[in-house]
């Protein structure tokens, strides 16, 4: 009896641990990426303090090798996890506060960033003045922002853009936020879940082709997805949101792609100045759309460096060996969330692709 029980446990462990990797090897077929598509790129947590500030002061570029990827897409968005302000008095009672040099916004312009997500737990680090100056300073560099504003209405106003034949709307909110940071009808602050968000989604969904929501959520350096995150995702999708792009955990997490929707639970970091020993390599996510049929085709995953102790804050595409390890991890995490989704690799192009096609 005890032996049979042990065998069942062993079989269950082998099935959960090794079967997903067997499937990965079966689907590892140099899948051809779609071409001539509309491409929207998303990057994770970004600031210009600590180690990033150090190499900028030395006159080195942290993004030089990654620029071609940003140049070859139609739209670029990033989670801006810092303020750009002359206010030298951060709010008290916070473990970390981030205030990047205003000049460092030039890095974002070199990357041709179109949109900055401010719905996160560092946009209010320097209070109202810091928040409002950040919005104005980014605006001077022609970078649009969402997720924070002079009141909750402004913080939850979507950014809408037309690319070729498609209209896209973007919202940004944070579920990781101090109560004092939250925007109200009378006070500037950061956007969070609010009935105004749902009203605006209902209002806009018939006017655009696709809706994105950026969410700052989850637990740092953990790949487990909470029931709360799953429930919020389901609610937003039911209201008409197509895509959820997450950040805050500082590591990549599971990806779930369906025919007309997707959830990226976490992109990990992009340009982040810490040297935390829990750091992993990271990803960029490129959404592909057919300009003729307007169909969502899937998500291309670009593996990028993220272990700053090794790469000294300089971002580049990972070599194929490290990419494969990262792809396997993302594959297993993603298949756990949705086993029947189609995930392919292109070894020659060094890409992972989550297909939205049947």
Spans of all domains in the chain: 1-30, 31-355
Structure confidence at residue 34 as a pLDDT band (50, 70, 90): confident
43 or 31: which leads in pLDDT = 43
CA distance between the termini of the chain: 45
Structure confidence at residue 289 as a pLDDT band (50, 70, 90): very high
With pLDDT > 70 as the criterion, what percentage of the chain qualifies?
92
Instruction: Identify whether the C-beta of residue 147 lies closer than 8 Å to the C-beta of residue 118.
Output: yes
How does the average pLDDT of the chain come out, rounded? Answer: 92
Instruction: Identify whether the C-beta of residue 43 lies closer than 8 Å to the C-beta of residue 267.
Output: yes
Structure confidence at residue 35 as a pLDDT band (50, 70, 90): confident
Question: Is the predicted pLDDT of residue 313 greater than 60, yes or no?
Answer: yes
pLDDT for 10 equals 40
| Homologous superfamily of domain range 31-355 | Metallo-dependent phosphatases (3.60.21.10)
Other C-beta atoms closer than 10 Å to the C-beta of 345 total: 23
pLDDT for 244 equals 98
What are the E-state strand segments in the chain?
A: 38-46, 75-80, 115-117, 144-146, 148-149, 159-163, 166-174, 189-190, 210-216, 243-247, 255-257, 262-264, 269-271, 282-289, 296-304, 342-346, 351-355
Mean pLDDT for 49-73 is 97
pLDDT for 145 equals 98
pLDDT for 24 equals 59
Region of poorest pLDDT, from 6-10, 59-63, 152-156, 179-183: 6-10
Region of poorest pLDDT, from 21-25, 231-235, 338-342: 21-25
Calpha distance 127→321 (Å, rounded): 44
Which of 244, 292, 248 shows the shortest CA–CA distance to 264?
244
Question: Is the predicted pLDDT of residue 5 greater than 70, yes or no?
Answer: no
DSSP string, 88-129: --PPSS-S---B--GGGHHHHHHTT--EEE--STTTTTTHHH
With pLDDT > 90 as the criterion, what percentage of the chain qualifies?
87
Tell me the pLDDT tens digit for each residue of 185-244: 999 999 999 999 999 999 999 999 999 999 999 999 999 999 999 999 999 999 999 999
Structure confidence at residue 30 as a pLDDT band (50, 70, 90): low
């Amino acid at each position: 009896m005890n032996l049979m029980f042990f065998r069942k446990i062993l079989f269950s462990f082998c099935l959960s641990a090794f079967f997903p990797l067997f499937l990965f090897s079966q689907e590892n077929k140099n899948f051809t990426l779609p071409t001539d598509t509309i491409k929207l790129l998303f990057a994770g947590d970004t600031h210009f303090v600590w180690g990033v500030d150090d190499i900028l002061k030395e006159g080195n570029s942290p993004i030089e090798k990654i620029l071609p990827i940003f140049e070859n897409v139609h739209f670029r968005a990033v989670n801006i996890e810092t303020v750009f302000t002359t206010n030298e008095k951060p709010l008290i009672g916070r473990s970390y506060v981030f205030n990047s040099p205003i000049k460092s916004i030039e890095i974002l312009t070199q990357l041709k960033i179109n949109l900055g997500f401010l719905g996160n737990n560092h946009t209010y680090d320097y209070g109202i003045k810091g928040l409002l100056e950040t919005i104005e300073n980014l605006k001077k560099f022609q970078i649009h922002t969402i997720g924070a504003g002079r009141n909750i209405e402004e913080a939850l106003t979507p950014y809408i853009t037309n690319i070729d034949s498609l209209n896209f709307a973007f919202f940004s909110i944070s579920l990781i936020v101090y109560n004092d940071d939250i925007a109200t009808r009378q006070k500037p602050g950061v956007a969070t879940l609010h009935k105004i968000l749902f009203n605006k989604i209902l209002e806009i969904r018939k006017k655009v082709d696709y809706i994105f929501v950026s969410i700052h959520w989850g637990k740092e350096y953990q790949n487990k997805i909470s029931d709360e995150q799953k429930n919020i995702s389901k609610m937003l999708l039911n209201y008409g949101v197509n895509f959820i792009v997450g950040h805050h955990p500082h590591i990549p997490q599971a990806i779930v792609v369906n025919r007309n929707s997707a959830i990226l639970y976490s992109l990990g970091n992009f340009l982040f100045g810490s040297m935390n020993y829990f750091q992993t390599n990271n990803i960029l996510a490129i959404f592909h759309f057919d300009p003729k049929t307007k169909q969502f085709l899937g998500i291309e995953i670009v593996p990028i460096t993220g272990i700053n102790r090794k790469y000294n804050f300089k971002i580049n595409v990972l070599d194929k060996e490290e990419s494969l390890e990262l792809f396997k991890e993302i594959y297993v995490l993603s298949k756990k969330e949705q086993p029947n989704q189609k995930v392919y690799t292109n070894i020659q192009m060094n890409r992972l692709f989550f297909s939205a096609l049947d």
